[in-house]
Amino acid sequence: MHTLCRFSIRVALGLLILPVLTPAATAAAQHKVLETQLGQATFYGAAWRGRITASGRKFDDRKAVAAHRTYPFGTVVRVTNLENGRSANVVIIDRGPFGKNRRKGAIIDLSHSVANDLGTIRRGQVDVKLEVLAWGSGRRHREAAVNPPERQALR
């Protein structure tokens, strides 16, 4: 009986402490949402790989980056696919979407890897929620001006 009582107390304490220690609760407590936006997301095609973006950075579709028409460069945004609940954090490094995607309601262009993580590749354009977690400085990056040894030190 004494062992059962001790076990019950440990389980009760564990249930009280568990929500505090879970990564989701910790992440939510660390990131205050500064702005929310609803719309649709598209993703960059493979032809953009290696091109210089509006921020001056070279586009790499394997990184968690995105394009937004107004958010400052360097802004960290949590993008949530409203159809399946998947989310990912991205950094704004480019301007867009433009053209027909913008006219159809797209508010953000995602890199291919992020679009794949969110499950948007097949559909091409899905409903999303954007949550700004940190505002960027808006400064352009001058990658070409940095010497190769310095560039490696920055990584």
Same-domain pairing of 18 and 46: no
In a domain, 152, yes or no: no
* Kind of pairing between the strands at 35-43 and 126-134: antiparallel
Residues in the chain: 155
Report how far residue 112's alpha carbon sits from residue 108's, in angstroms, rounded to the nearest whole number. 13
Residue at 140: amino acid letter: R
Phi, psi (5° rounding) for residue 39?
Answer: 175, -150
> 134 and 77, same structural domain?
yes
Our count of domains for the chain comes to 2
Strands (E), 5-148: 35-43, 65-68, 76-81, 87-94, 106-110, 126-134
Do residue 135 and residue 111 come from a single domain?
Answer: yes
pLDDT of residue 42: 94
On whether residue 39 sits in a domain, the answer given is yes
Specify the pairing of strand 106-110 against strand 65-68: antiparallel
Question: What local confidence, expressed as pLDDT, does residue 146 receive?
Answer: 45
Q: Report, as ranges of residue numbers, the positions in the chain whose pLDDT lies below 70.
A: 1-30, 100-103, 142-155
Domain match, 9 and 83 both: no
Q: Are residues 120 and 130 in the same domain?
A: yes
Q: In this structure, which amino acid lies at residue 61?
A: D
Residue numbers of the domain that contains 42: 32-140
Look up the CATH number of the domain holding residue 117: 2.40.40.10
The pLDDT tens digits of the residues spanning 51-73 come to 999 999 999 999 999 999 999 99
151 domain residue, yes or no: no
Cβ atoms 108, 39 nearer than 8 A? yes
Question: Within a domain: residue 85?
Answer: yes
Tokens at 74, concatenated: 């360097």
18 and 38 together in one domain: no
